[in-house]
Structure 1
Amino acid sequence: MSRPGGREPRRLTRWWRRRSLRMRMTVIAATAIAASVFVAFQAASELLDGELRNTAENQLRADSRVLATNAESAGLARVQLPPYPGSGRLVRVILPDGSTRTPAGQPALPPVSEQAGRVARGASADLMESKDSDEDGYRIYTLRTGDGAIQVAHAADDSPINRFGLGMLLSGLLCVVGGALVGRAVARTGLAPIDRLTAAAVRVANTRDLDAGIPDEGGGEIRRLIQAINDMLAALRDSRRAQRLLAEDAAHELKTPLTSLRLNIELLVRLDRRGTLDTAISAESRTRLLNDLGAQVAELSTLAAELTDLARGDVSDESAEPLDLADVVVAAATQARSRLPGLEVALDVTSVWVSGRPAALQRAVLNLIDNAGKWSPTDQPVQVRLHAGAGAVVLEVDDAGPGIDATDVPRVFDRFYRADSARALPGSGLGLSIVQRVVHAHGGRATVGRSARGGALLRVDLPAAAPAARLTAGEDTAVR
């Protein structure tokens, strides 16, 4: 069961979060000034009250000494008391027998307190005390004189404090209003770059023009925010440009196999409608044509899968995990042998650990082996070596083919790029591009060179990772 009292803070928090930044800054400025005025008022009131109290007590002491001097010469019973001025100071004499004398017409003071009586009896020299009645408050000073005491009192006057408080209240209200106005002006001035930034972002969103960058202005946080947004726009431009190039290249690559597939199918359909399919095309030609159709369909399927993989980018349901790359390489080699029964793969792999996505890494290794299998002679195996380097894991795949021409090396990993000598071989030109993307996503590097057998040597370097479990002495052995 929820507590009703806990809802109010949440409502207040939600209300506060829904306010604009200008409103927040205005409220914060006004609240800060109001708190400052309140603290200043409290401190000034205490100082003023203490100063007035000290002044009044000093005056009472001075008046008491003057009256005590007269009483010592004339006696307490006969000393002439000053007439009551109508307000302010009040006088009373405490006689030895405990009775009191006051000027004629003077208002009655509170009864003599027990402490004042002890002063009159000689227990102490003087006493300062405050008396609060229902109507008036008095500050009374008692001074031992002769066999009795002299008391001088003054009615407490809070009017200076009240006037001061009223003045501070009015000043505080003016300061709060002024602070709110100043806070709003400061918010408007300080948020002006944000307003311009917002307008520029809205303009980019409405026009879809990612080339229209936001002008760099201001400094500090504003400049960093503008630079971050411009970097984001640049990344979006690059992504859109890459998508457009991918679509254009895909359309170009799909055009040829689709055209060939359509022409062959139309030929078969037209001959079948005429009833001359068996006589117009020999059995050998018909078999070759059907084989071509199957190869073109397989090529289109491969191309579609690779395009889907490239379009997904780094988006994957897989999460990175520590894994033994040797297991991935062995699985990829087994899959390559099943796809190409005549392919021979020689493995020389050592158990090494990396942090990565198993399926993506297996796809990259499979593409490397498939690429090498296209060029390697039937009597020469594709060699796959995996070993640990200096803080890295090194995977090498080489073949005994003709190698890669020096002019083709810079573009080996480009999308849809195929060397002139590879035009007649199956493939879409996307396999090595996928390899490079996967390797880069894992923080590695893919390079191409020439193997000792004269063919191509494709090398992948990946960051090494600590093994998920301690390896036994027999596990770190080469797999042949």
Structure 2
Amino acid sequence: MTGTRGLGARWRRRRPLRTRLALAASAAVALVAVGVCAAAFTIIDYQMTRQLKLNLTQTATQTIRERHDWGPTPSDTLCRYPASPCIQIVPADPAKDPRERYVLPVSDATRQVADGRRAAFYTKLTVAGQPVQMLTTRLGSKDEALQVAQRSDTVDRGVEQAAWALSVVGGVGVLLAAALGYWVSRTGLAPVARLTATAERIAATRNAGHRIELPAGPAAREDELTRLATSFNTMLGELEQSVTAQRRLVADASHELRTPLTALRTNAELLARADRLTDAQRDRASAALGRQLRAVTTLVNDLIELARDEEPQPLVEQVRPAALLEHAVGAAREHWPEISFTTAIAPSAAGLTIPGVPPRLSRLLSNLLDNAAKFSPPGGPVETELTYTSGELDLTIRDHGPGIAEDDLPHVFDRFYRAKTARALPGSGLGLAMARQIARAHHAELTAERAPGGGAVFRVRVPVAAA
């Protein structure tokens, strides 16, 4: 039994899915066709034999009703005519047999029917070289048996012809089943074949831009395999976007790192010849080297933070956003003394807590406050407000700077993206991208918009109930 299962498993592994499906469908349809033909043959054989027996019964009944000169007689004919029945009367006592030889065979069962010890019965036999169906029944109340026989060769030929016809029909049905099975497997698995070919092309070319061709028409999209192909195309689109974003991140990071690394190498080489420099030159080179090291360190740390998709669960705790906002605004005042920061916290939001990682949420707030301060004019205000309405915390940070251009608005959260007005300002272009990633990791939504009257508004919405 184990060997049989192992052989079946090896056969399934070696045969493609299309072949297995075609064979299964063909076998199912062929089994149905053969079963229908076998059932039809059985019914035809039964009905034709039943009709012959019914004719014998009717002949026997008519003979009993019409004949009155009873007595032992041999068969009226030798059953040489297909349409003429043979009739023979046999007594229960062999001593009363006629002198003529019986044409139809007489047995002990015949004598038992004659004296009433046995019920009537049918027999298939051969008389004068011809196949015969015979009925043996008791003749009235006398101790005699009536034997009525009729040739069955016409019935046998009809059954044989039906068998040949049904065999041909069954064979055609099996061939049609094989063709239908192949068509079903080819048509039904076409999306799977296209999916496999696309996956193989992607594996060979490493190009996620390939797609599976989908059948046209809205009705085709109701098919399970078509929905699978659609889902695979969606996955390929996400993969392509991910690969493109990864390549762009690597290219942008390489570009951003090239300038500070070049400056670092230049200043390091300059300090290597410190004996040729004056004290002022050496101090300037050392300060520049320190600034560039801090910039590179910040950039690398930001890249590491962006590479993390979600927050570590062991570090999640209940956090008060109001307290974090006050702390972040205090730190921003120290870092940007020329900017005026104002904070408004609604009483309904003052005591609320949400699950989160405090250092990451602080980084989110500091990035938004630094961005607002960077674009604000000296002495300009940066306004922060925290409110709670309808199960949602709403934090807004507004500056009064030049605002965000319409062309730049869809890209402000892209990595390394810098608007034309920001390219001369310090920074790597990762702050807002990191802020959005932290917000998404905390089930929050971060958006940017143009403020009425000038400036930009960044809004963080946190669904407290969901969190």
**Distance change >3 Å, CA 390–CA 169, structure 1 → 2:** same
The answer for the alignment partner of 1:57 in structure 2 is 53
**Distance change >3 Å, CA 10–CA 70, structure 1 → 2:** same
Is 1:75 aligned with 2:64?
Answer: no
The answer for the alignment partner of 2:166 in structure 1 is 168
Q: 2:175 aligns with which of 168, 174, 177?
A: 177
**Distance change >3 Å, CA 290–CA 194, structure 1 → 2:** same
Deviation, structure 1 residue 366: 4.4
Is the 8 Å Cα contact of residues 328 and 358 (structure 1) preserved in structure 2? no
- 1:121-136 equivalence runs, <5 A: 128-130=120-122
**Distance change >3 Å, CA 212–CA 83, structure 1 → 2:** closer
Deviation, structure 1 residue 34: 2.1
Is 1:85 aligned with 2:79?
Answer: yes
- 1:287-306 equivalence runs, <5 A: 287=283, 289-306=285-302
- 1:204-283 equivalence runs, <5 A: 205-208=203-206, 220=220, 221=223, 230-271=233-274, 275-276=275-276, 280-282=278-280
Equivalent position SS for 2:106:
coil
* Segment of structure 1 superposing worse, 335-344 or 457-466: 335-344
Amino acid across the alignment from 2:140: T
The answer for the alignment partner of 2:460 in structure 1 is 460
Deviation, structure 1 residue 111: 1.3
Q: Aligned equivalents of 2:182 and 2:305: distance in 1?
A: 53
Q: Aligned equivalents of 1:19 and 1:351: distance in 2?
A: 66
Amino acid across the alignment from 1:140: L
Q: Aligned equivalents of 2:141 and 2:463: distance in 1?
A: 103
The answer for the alignment partner of 1:367 in structure 2 is 367
Deviation, structure 1 residue 432: 0.9
Q: 2:19 aligns with which of 15, 18, 23?
A: 23
Q: Structure 1 length as normaliser, TM-score?
A: 0.69
Q: Aligned equivalents of 2:216 and 2:324: distance in 1?
A: 57
The answer for the alignment partner of 2:432 in structure 1 is 432
Q: Aligned equivalents of 1:232 and 1:85: distance in 2?
A: 83
Structure 2: stretches of 5+ with no match in the other structure: 126-130
Deviation, structure 1 residue 27: 1.0
**Distance change >3 Å, CA 69–CA 450, structure 1 → 2:** closer
Is the 8 Å Cα contact of residues 68 and 150 (structure 1) preserved in structure 2? no
Give percent identity, aligned residues only: 29
Q: 2:37 aligns with which of 17, 36, 41?
A: 41
Deviation, structure 1 residue 138: 6.8
Q: Aligned equivalents of 2:123 and 2:53: distance in 1?
A: 14
Amino acid across the alignment from 1:22: R
Q: Aligned equivalents of 1:462 and 1:322: distance in 2?
A: 16
Amino acid across the alignment from 1:52: M
**Distance change >3 Å, CA 15–CA 358, structure 1 → 2:** farther
The answer for the alignment partner of 1:151 in structure 2 is 146
The answer for the alignment partner of 2:106 in structure 1 is 108
The answer for the alignment partner of 2:415 in structure 1 is 415
Q: Aligned equivalents of 2:342 and 2:132: distance in 1?
A: 109
Q: Structure 2 length as normaliser, TM-score?
A: 0.71
Q: Aligned equivalents of 2:419 and 2:413: distance in 1?
A: 11
Give aligned pairs, total.
Answer: 440
Q: Aligned equivalents of 1:192 and 1:309: distance in 2?
A: 44
Structure 1: stretches of 5+ with no match in the other structure: 121-126, 468-480
Is the 8 Å Cα contact of residues 22 and 185 (structure 2) preserved in structure 1? yes
Deviation, structure 1 residue 465: 2.8
Amino acid across the alignment from 1:405: G
